[in-house]
Amino acid sequence: MIAVIQKVSEASVTIDGFIKSAIGQGLLVLLGIEDEDADEDIDWLTRKIVNMRIFEDADGVMNESLLDVHGEILVVSQFTLHASTKKGNRPSYIKAAKPDVSVPLYETFVKKIAEYGQPVKTGEFGADMKVSLVNDGPVTILIDTKNKV
Q: What is the CATH number of the domain that holds 97?
A: 3.50.80.10
Q: 78 an active-site residue? A: yes
Tens place of pLDDT for every residue, the chain, 149 residues? Answer: 999 999 999 999 999 999 999 999 999 999 999 999 999 999 999 999 999 999 999 999 999 999 999 999 999 999 989 888 988 899 989 889 999 999 999 999 999 999 999 889 999 988 999 999 999 999 999 999 999 87
- Give tens-digit pLDDT for 47-65: 999 999 999 999 999 999 9
Q: Which of 79, 109, 118, 145 is catalytic?
A: 79
Q: 55 an active-site residue? A: no
- Give tens-digit pLDDT for 27-38: 999 999 999 999
3-state SS of the chain?
CEEEEEEEEEEEEEECCEEEEEECCEEEEEEECECCCCHHHHHHHHHHHHHCCCEECCCCCEEECHHHHCCEEEEEECHHHHCECCCCCCCECCCECCHHHHHHHHHHHHHHHHCCCCCEEECCCCCCEEEEEEEEEEEEEEEEHHHCC
- Give the model's pLDDT for residue 125: 87
Q: Which of 6, 46, 55, 78 is catalytic?
A: 78
Q: 25 an active-site residue? A: no
Instruction: Please count the structural domains in the chain.
Output: 1
Query: Which range of residues forms the domain containing residue 79?
Result: 2-147
Calpha distance 3→49 (Å, rounded): 9
Beta-strand relationship, 72-77 and 120-122: parallel
pTM summary value: 0.94
Give the list of residues 6+ apart from residue 47 with CB closer than 8 angstroms, or none.
none
